[in-house]
Amino acid sequence: MSGRWLSIIGIGEDGRKGLSPAASALIDGAALVVGGRRHLDLVGDTPGEKMEWEKPLEATATTILARRGTPVVVLASGDPFWFGAGATLARSIPVEDMQVLPSSSSFSLAASRLGWPLQDVTTLGLNMKGLTPLIRRHLHHGRRILTLALNGETPREVARLLSEAGFEESTITVMEALGGPREQIRSVLAKNFDISAVDPLNIIAVDVVAGSSAKPIPFTAGLPDHYFENDGQLTKREIRAMTLSSLQPGAGQLLWDVGAGSGSIGIEWLLAHPANTAIGIERDAERAARAVRNSVALGVPHLDIRNGAAPEALTGLAQPDAIFIGCGTADGNVIEACWTALKPGGRIVVNAVTLESEHALLAAHQSRGGTLTRMSVERAEPVGKLMAWRPAMPVLQWVSAKAYGDA
């Protein structure tokens, strides 16, 4: 392909044998061949120079770009644009400079071994440190999951997470070095996980089975209150569901959760879409730590909790698309600071239960517009041997959107 000096070639565990003649010719004609040590070993000897990936990968992209105009080959596992190196390179090298020759992805190989229709399978990448909890969101009875592993310990971590979440009857299949001479496939129930000496290059397949104590995470706002470790500082389920509806999470958007408490609003914002981000501000150190634990337990370990008090703790934070304020609004200073920081087109939602905070919301409504909604919830609870309605404290909610051009 004329002018395309960079070739990104997907390679499997079968090495050169699995490559097309065109791919093999590009490797032999390259002045530079770049890849991980495993990839370079798989292609064997080459006439051109060999170079291993540097860390971070972006540093290698700079080195590759310096060779522009000379034939360069980058080796990647399977499909370079499916949890692969292609996306990293495309951030700094124009696609017009590239030709891409993918091979079968690890997910394709895994699905073919199991007989699973790949379009019906949840595919995840747990191949970076700290990402194992991300699988938690996808644990629903009868679902099937394929995930890339970080290393040989990842399958055991997944088994532990499944058991702790009540999915201990799920079958875990560990698939090592697929497509090559070292391929090995082993299956076991999560509760009985005893697979040892797992190859670092592995795919984990999970056939999800919910046990009697399972806590699946629904795809609507308003998780059950008992899903959250809390000390009472928790936006209750019904109010939380209405609050998330008012916040209107959109893909890739940033939320500030001011007065994060147990982290419930930020957690459910992140659960709304995998590209979302959230920063929680909590002045109580114990509650901040609790919010972190909740985020990990509920599959969104990327919730960013800052221990500090608003408005001072807001300084220097990335500009948000939406803001929720759950406490500390009585004097109006936090509301004003948040409104100033909010992106044009963004939404602000404030809940108040005290008369003093309600007064601040009335003032905000008068100056910034929006809507005021009073919410009251009553739950049936035992009174002796009978049942009666027990009302929760009513909540006044102010919602407003910042118009483009507003200060």
Fold of domain 107-207: 3.30.950
- Reply yes or no on whether the pLDDT at 103 is more than 60: yes
pLDDT at position 128 is 87
Question: Which tokens go with 352?
Answer: 């108040």
Between CA 380 and CA 391 the distance in angstroms is: 9
Those residues whose C-beta lies under 8 Å from the C-beta of residue 66, and which sit 6 or more positions away, are: none
pLDDT at position 407 is 62
Strand duo 277-282 + 254-258: pairing? parallel
Q: What is the pLDDT of residues 170-190, one digit of tens each?
A: 999 999 999 999 999 999 999
Question: Torsions phi, psi of 49, nearest 5?
Answer: -70, 150
Q: Where in the chain is the domain with CATH 3.40.1010.10?
A: 6-103
- Reply yes or no on whether the pLDDT at 1 is more than 60: no
Q: Where in the chain is the domain with CATH 3.40.50.150?
A: 225-401
Query: Are 167 and 160 contacting, i.e. CB atoms less than 8 angstroms apart?
Result: no
Q: Where in the chain is the domain with CATH 3.30.950.10?
A: 107-207
Q: 4-20 in b/e burial notation, b at 16+ Cβ within 10 A?
A: ebbbbbbbbbebeebbe
Fold of domain 6-103: Cobalt-precorrin-4 Transmethylase; domain 1 (3.40.1010)
Query: Are 261 and 235 contacting, i.e. CB atoms less than 8 angstroms apart?
Result: yes
306: region left, alpha or beta (phi > 0 left; psi from -120 to 50 alpha):
beta
Q: What is the pLDDT of residues 331-347, one digit of tens each?
A: 789 999 999 999 999 99
Q: What is the pLDDT of residues 5-40, one digit of tens each?
A: 999 999 999 999 999 999 999 999 999 999 999 999
- Reply yes or no on whether the pLDDT at 101 is more than 60: yes
Q: DSSP state, 184? A: E
- Reply yes or no on whether the pLDDT at 272 is more than 60: yes
Average pLDDT, integer, range 351-366:
94
3-state SS, 239-278, equals HHHHHHHHHCCCCCCEEEEECCCCCHHHHHHHHHCCCCEE
Q: What is the pLDDT of residues 115-169, one digit of tens each?
A: 999 999 999 999 888 899 999 999 999 999 999 999 999 999 999 999 999 999 9
CA 118 from centre of chain: 21
pLDDT at position 233 is 84
pTM for this entry: 0.89
Fold of domain 225-401: Rossmann fold (3.40.50)
Q: What is the pLDDT of residues 284-318, one digit of tens each?
A: 999 999 999 999 999 999 999 999 999 999 999 99
- Reply yes or no on whether the pLDDT at 405 is more than 80: no
Q: What is the pLDDT of residues 364-381, one digit of tens each?
A: 999 999 999 999 999 999
